[in-house]
Chain A
Amino acid sequence: MDIKPILAALRHHKGGTALIALQIALTLAIVCNALFIIQQRLDRVGRPSGVQESDLFVIQNDWAQKLAPAEADARMRADLQTLRQLGSVQDASASNSFPLHGAGWDNFVRMSPDQVKMTTDSAIFFADEHTLATLGTRLAAGRNFRADEIGSQTGNDPLHARQVIISDGLARTLFPHGSALGKTIYTSNDQSPSTVIGITGTLQSHLTELWAQPYAYNAVLVPARLTGDSTFYLVRARPGQLVDAMRQAQDALYAQSRMRIIPADGGVMTFAQARQRAYDADYGMAILMGIISAVLLVITAAGIVGLTSFWVGQRRKQIGVRRALGARQRDILGYFLTENLLITLGGLLLGVVLAVALNLWLVIRLGSQPMSPLYLAGGVLLLLLLGQGAVLAPALKASRVPPVEATRSV
């Protein structure tokens, strides 16, 4: 196909040509970035927590009066005893927070007491000998806590943990070459050492924010009950008995003592709900970007159909002349497809620049990640196909213009 006459014809439709090209450029810029954002968000949402999430639920328990630390510790032990004895409950444990919770305690981790800058940041989960079994998290190396090692402390005391279990993510960050087992780390402001006695499999932190991405799999399990104004009880139901266990657990706790508050909204929550909460902003972004991309592609396609139809209508006479002079139907079809291809290519050229610029803005202003060129390539291909698809109907209509049109007056 000779493109010279097409270019000559386009020169007579500068306005319309520029508009379609601009629309394609902007669409490419938005759709590439939107798809990239969707992919990023879904990646985050799809990360494993290292927790066996089905059959697990969380109870938020606030004490209704101020308790001395020893009293709070005794009540927590009694509550755990009660929970573990329920028929529908497999295991239970108390903690200050849990993976994906968002709020919690995080400390800097150092390799030596006099090190100034932290090596990394890690979630601190207070734990006992039941915690790993309750979470359904695997112990990859070393040993679990023993019942006689579990102490208690308040949130006002500096973290005191002579022996800790750490997540494999933290172990690999701290000791990239060789095992962390038996090594000493420093997690407390009072510079007391902690010996690593166990390493879990994958275990996610409570931190879900974007800034905490590098620390998302760092967790230190401390063998103590944190006594304070409130606590979480993590409870694993026997398989398939989640609903029963959730009801029974709450009733049993109130039967034990009514001097507690289990909030009506979110006080008893399945882990699935906790996960949903952690990621609702991500789901929202993915949905919004998805809707916008889809509507955008439809509108751009419709715009191409509309303008090309107009051009076809405008050039019926010329098409008739060409047909009368011997052009075949597919020459006419090819003409319009090629014309669209040229305009689309022009638009995509500009669009690639705009897409990169928009991504750059997101990176600089909002700390997003740079977009992989694959998204650009995908977007370009998508819009080429969209353009050709949209132009097909008007182009077919043009190809059916009879040669006799050449002889007709207006």
Chain B
Amino acid sequence: MFGYYFQLGMRSLRRNPVLTALMVIAIGFGVAASMITWSVFRVVSGNPIPQKSGRLFTVLIDNRGPQYNDDGEPPEALTYTDANAMIRAHKAPHQTLFYPISLAVLPDGNRSLPLKAIGYATTADFFGMFDVPFEYGSAWSAQDDTRRAGVVVLSHQFNEQLFGGADSVGREVDLSGHIYRVVGVTRHFDPKPRYFDLFGGSAFDDPMQVYIPFNRADDLQINTAGRNTCGGAPDTGVGTGREGWLRGECSWIPVWVQLDTPAQVADYRAFLEGYAAKQQRAGRFRWPPNVRLRDVTDWLAFEHVVPPESRISLVVSIGFFVICLVNTIGLLLAKFMRRSAEIGVRRALGAPRGEIYRQFLIEAGTVGAAGGVLGVLLTAVGVGGVGLLFAPRIARLAQVDLPLMALTLLVAVVATVVAAFYPTWRAAKVQPAWQLKSN
């Protein structure tokens, strides 16, 4: 029967090409608008590390106090003093800290101009905690951290640029006038959003190219290439220059810990409270401990990582799709009721209501499928042109893939069939006797 109803449906759709085209276009545009904005939204609102987002925590300590903090919240990163104290204390199974750096690869045989290299100064634990995949070699060791070694991990893309993609482990690179030995090359590593560096506002920025030990960068006095926030508290008597700044209360180093069990989380929280209490006793903080331990999802929500534009456009697009569906309901109603006589004949000849339902829902399904196909085409075109609608760094997140295309088709068909329930119900209610009666 399905095949027969499908044929009937096609015939009926051909009978009013304008009405049919109108429905198909409405569904196509509606579903495409929703899918284009969804293709961006699913990335910006996604969980970038689902397998351990509940076990990674960023550590925040209020060093500004109730008068100067941000509505009771500690700054979004730690000071040099606190960050180093957290790493030295080593109270979590894994802990890391980092800050963005911008270095230069000096000219050599192939290049006449220096090449910029952006990256992080961090610790060995960074790579394991954030699941950085390796193509060659591995992360540096904890000993390299303590030896303050001149070692470097390159990104796949940067290794391509410097060494033509060859296994460069053991080779040397001159970064801003200092020699580093390559210990590892990562595979493509570009979590979106880059949850661990929300403080720097680089959730959707280009992937990093080099990673060097924090202690090494500290020895070389490499400045942060990222954000530095000092708050509004008076900061007197710490002196000038780098030393004064490091001793001062400016926040610029994100710290992350990995805590695998609730007990570890509780212990770490207690340690953190204790640390802040000790600072209070020492007279550095003149307020009771105010600390936070936020996991990845908590942190993403707290930092409002989803751009408002993405949320607004998704809501408006879905609203648009709903209107297109309401429109379709109306048109299907008109179309089905026009065939009351036909329905009457079928019912009089013994077709139960269920058959009428089946026939008209299949017909609606064909409209939905046609709309879905148009929607897939429009989505593909629209995602290509999404650069017009969002900032480039957001727009490039939009990808047309098989799941998105399948979803487009599915949503179109399901939504249309659901929308067709009311008109079909009306059609099934047609009284055979009424229709057969001659006027």
Question: Do A and B come together as binding partners?
Answer: yes
- Interface residues of chain A, those whose CB is within 8 Å of chain B, are 15-16, 19-20, 22-23, 26-27, 29-30, 33-34, 37, 62-66, 108, 113, 116-118, 154-158, 189-191, 210, 228-230, 254, 258-261, 263, 280-281, 283-285, 287-289, 292, 295-296, 299-300, 302-303, 306-307, 309-310, 313-314, 317, 358, 361-362, 365-368, 409-410
Report which of A23, A66, A292 forms a contact with B220, defined as CB distance below 8 A: A66
- Jot down 25 A-B pairs with beta carbons below 8 A, ordered by A: A19-B330, A26-B322, A62-B102, A64-B114, A64-B176, A65-B106, A65-B176, A66-B176, A155-B228, A157-B240, A158-B240, A189-B233, A189-B235, A254-B113, A258-B112, A260-B114, A284-B390, A285-B389, A299-B323, A300-B323, A306-B331, A310-B337, A314-B337, A358-B319, A366-B308
Q: Provide the residues of chain A in CB contact with B315, threshold 8 Å.
A: 361
B284 contacts A by Cβ under 8 Å: no
Report which of B107, B241, B327 forms a contact with A258, defined as CB distance below 8 A: B107
Instruction: Please name the residue on chain A nearest to B23 by beta carbon.
Output: A306
Q: Provide the residues of chain B in CB contact with A261, threshold 8 Å.
A: 104, 113-116
Instruction: Please name the residue on chain A nearest to B306 by beta carbon.
Output: A366
B307 contacts A by Cβ under 8 Å: yes
Interchain CB contact under 8 A, B241 and A306? no
Q: How far is the CA of A283 from the CA of B104 in the complex (A)?
A: 35
Interchain CB contact under 8 A, B426 and A15? yes
Q: How far is the CA of A366 from the CA of B315 in the complex (A)?
A: 12
Instruction: Please name the residue on chain B nearest to A263 by beta carbon.
Output: B116
Interchain CB contact under 8 A, A287 and B389? yes
- B:209-237 near A, CB below 8 Å: 220-223, 225, 228, 230, 232-236
Q: Residues 321-351 of chain B: 1 if any A CB is under 8 Å from the residue's CB, otherwise 0?
A: 0111011011101110110000000000000
Interchain CB contact under 8 A, B104 and A64? yes
A224 to B: closest C-beta gap in Å: 13
- B:129-184 near A, CB below 8 Å: 176-177
Q: How far is the CA of A34 from the CA of B312 in the complex (A)?
A: 10
Interchain CB contact under 8 A, B67 and A116? yes
Instruction: Please name the residue on chain A nearest to B241 by beta carbon.
Output: A156
Q: How far is the CA of A16 from the CA of B394 in the complex (A)?
A: 42
B51 contacts A by Cβ under 8 Å: no
A-B pairs, 8 with minimum CB distance: A310-B334, A64-B114, A156-B245, A64-B104, A284-B389, A303-B327, A19-B330, A189-B235
A39 to B: closest C-beta gap in Å: 14
A229 to B: closest C-beta gap in Å: 6
Most buried by B among A27, A295, A409: A295
Interchain CB contact under 8 A, A300 and B327? yes
Interchain CB contact under 8 A, A34 and B116? no
Q: How far is the CA of A345 from the CA of B230 in the complex (A)?
A: 57
Supposing A156-B244, A310-B334, A410-B439 touch, asked if A19 and B329 sit within 8 A by C-beta, the answer is yes
Interchain CB contact under 8 A, B104 and A62? yes
Supposing A280-B391, A284-B390, A292-B320 touch, asked if A229 and B102 sit within 8 A by C-beta, the answer is yes
Most buried by A among B176, B223, B320, B422: B320
Instruction: Please name the residue on chain B nearest to A228 by beta carbon.
Output: B223
B270 contacts A by Cβ under 8 Å: no
Q: Residues 405-439 of chain B: 1 if any A CB is under 8 Å from the residue's CB, otherwise 0?
A: 00000000000000000100010000000000011
Supposing A26-B326, A296-B323 touch, asked if A281 and B236 sit within 8 A by C-beta, the answer is no
Q: How far is the CA of A314 from the CA of B341 in the complex (A)?
A: 12
Instruction: Please name the residue on chain B nearest to A309 by beta carbon.
Output: B334
Interface size on B, residues (CB 8 A): 72
Q: How far is the CA of A367 from the CA of B334 in the complex (A)?
A: 42
Q: Provide the residues of chain B in CB contact with A280, threshold 8 Å.
A: 390-392
Interchain CB contact under 8 A, B102 and A230? yes
Report which of B312, B391, B438 forms a contact with A410, defined as CB distance below 8 A: B438
Q: Provide the residues of chain B in CB contact with A288, threshold 8 Å.
A: 37, 313, 316, 389
Report which of A29, A118, A254, A281 forms a contact with B309, defined as CB distance below 8 A: A281
Q: How far is the CA of A77 from the CA of B230 in the complex (A)?
A: 29
Interchain CB contact under 8 A, A295 and B221? no
Report which of B230, B234, B308, B323 forms a contact with A30, defined as CB distance below 8 A: B323
Q: How far is the CA of A108 from the CA of B235 in the complex (A)?
A: 13
Report which of A29, A37, A258, A313 forms a contact with B114, defined as CB distance below 8 A: A258
Report which of A26, A191, A313 forms a contact with B319, defined as CB distance below 8 A: A26
Q: Provide the residues of chain A in CB contact with B324, threshold 8 Å.
A: 299
Instruction: Please name the residue on chain A nearest to B220 by beta carbon.
Output: A66
Q: How far is the CA of A65 from the CA of B174 in the complex (A)?
A: 11
B88 contacts A by Cβ under 8 Å: no
Most buried by B among A27, A189, A314: A189
Supposing A62-B116, A281-B391, A409-B438 touch, asked if A19 and B240 sit within 8 A by C-beta, the answer is no
Q: How far is the CA of A230 from the CA of B338 in the complex (A)?
A: 73
Q: Provide the residues of chain B in CB contact with A108, threshold 8 Å.
A: 232
Interchain CB contact under 8 A, B312 and A259? no
Q: How far is the CA of A65 from the CA of B309 in the complex (A)?
A: 39
Supposing A116-B68, A289-B316 touch, asked if A310 and B338 sit within 8 A by C-beta, the answer is yes
Q: Provide the residues of chain A in CB contact with B233, threshold 8 Å.
A: 189
Q: How far is the CA of A131 from the CA of B115 in the complex (A)?
A: 30
A293 to B: closest C-beta gap in Å: 9
Q: Provide the residues of chain A in CB contact with B15, threshold 8 Å.
A: none
B26 contacts A by Cβ under 8 Å: yes
Instruction: Please name the residue on chain B nearest to A365 by beta carbon.
Output: B311
Most buried by A among B68, B112, B234, B395: B234
Q: Provide the residues of chain A in CB contact with B37, threshold 8 Å.
A: 288
Q: Provide the residues of chain B in CB contact with A317, threshold 8 Å.
A: 439
Q: Provide the residues of chain A in CB contact with B438, threshold 8 Å.
A: 409-410
B317 contacts A by Cβ under 8 Å: yes
Q: Provide the residues of chain B in CB contact with A259, threshold 8 Å.
A: 114
Interchain CB contact under 8 A, B327 and A292? no
Instruction: Please name the residue on chain A nearest to B243 by beta carbon.
Output: A156
Q: How far is the CA of A254 from the CA of B403 in the complex (A)?
A: 49
Q: Provide the residues of chain A in CB contact with B390, threshold 8 Å.
A: 280-281, 284
B373 to A: closest C-beta gap in Å: 18
Instruction: Please name the residue on chain A nearest to B244 by beta carbon.
Output: A156
Known: A189-B235, A306-B331, A310-B338. 16 other contacts (CB 8 A): A26-B326, A116-B68, A156-B244, A157-B241, A158-B244, A190-B236, A283-B388, A299-B324, A299-B327, A303-B327, A303-B331, A306-B22, A365-B311, A366-B308, A366-B312, A409-B438
